[in-house]
Amino acid sequence: MNDAPPVTGGAYDFERATSSLAGKLLSSPKKVTIVRHGLSTWNLESRVQGSSNLSVLTETGIIQAEMCRAALSGMHFDQCFASPITRAKSFAEVIWEGREEPIIFLDSLKEAHLFHLEGLRNVDAKANYPEYTMWREEPVNFNVNGVYPIRNLWLTAREAWKEILLSPGENFLVVTHKSILRALICTALGLGPERFRAVDVNNGGISMFDINTRGEAMVQSLNMTAHMYTNHVYH
């Protein structure tokens, strides 16, 4: 007779469980609010961005950051984590302006590295590089010389979750990029990299997660954009 405790959806054995984002018990529940950076120059020009640091926020992107700051003004955050890539870094600095704690920049929140495709207009990449079609249609199998960016992104996302959840505090703000954000959402939900394009997040979109002391995530909201069209303030 199997003496193992019944599985009810909770992580009961951290060495075998796949649902804990922290890998250990947390001292308290956490709330994590994740924001995608605003419109960038390469978004506007329809270029492949990846981990390139050459794309910066447009004037619209800066306005979107200000709108996010206003929308989140009713919420308390203990810390802010952000990608060090310029377009996300600048966006986070606008949102976090006036708060005492410094922004913590994590390499694990950087965007996926897309090698030679970065900087190319999407139309040119599609016309000249067969692997671009793989990136768009079957991203989990997209690879360059045996390196699989999206599969690697899942490992990076799990690392980011641990860095964030094991930090002091209970309420965290995270500012990052679309692909790594997709990986953060999917890893929180237990979805693999084959589901990469099952989730979409708009520029300035806000998603919120509650994390229990076992490190398990519950989605409270996904890709909220009401603040882009109204003066809505989240609480």
Q: Which of 211, 232, 203 is nearest to 37 (CA)?
A: 203
Q: Tell me: is residue 73 an annotated ligand-binding position.
A: no
Q: Within a 10 A sphere around the Cβ of 163, how many other Cβ atoms?
A: 16
| Residues contacting 124, CB < 8 A, separation 6+ | none
Q: Tell me: is residue 38 an annotated ligand-binding position.
A: yes
- DSSP codes joined into one string, 191-205: --GGGGGG----TT-
Distance between CA atoms of residues 89 and 84, nearest Å: 5
Distance between CA atoms of residues 204 and 57, nearest Å: 12
Whether residue 111 lies in the annotated active site: yes
Annotated active-site residue in 37, 118, 177, 227: 37
Q: Which of 213, 152, 160, 148 is nearest to 185 (CA)?
A: 160
Q: Which of 24, 169, 147 is nearest to 99 (CA)?
A: 169
Q: Tell me: is residue 36 an annotated ligand-binding position.
A: yes
Annotated active-site residue in 45, 66, 93, 111: 111
Confirm if 125 and 48 have CB atoms less than 8 A apart.
yes
User: CA 193, 195, 52 angle in degrees (round to 5)?
Assistant: 60
Q: Tell me: is residue 41 an annotated ligand-binding position.
A: yes
Q: Tell me: is residue 37 an annotated ligand-binding position.
A: yes
Return the active site residues: 37, 111
Annotated binding site for substrate: 36-43, 87
Annotated binding site: 36-43, 87
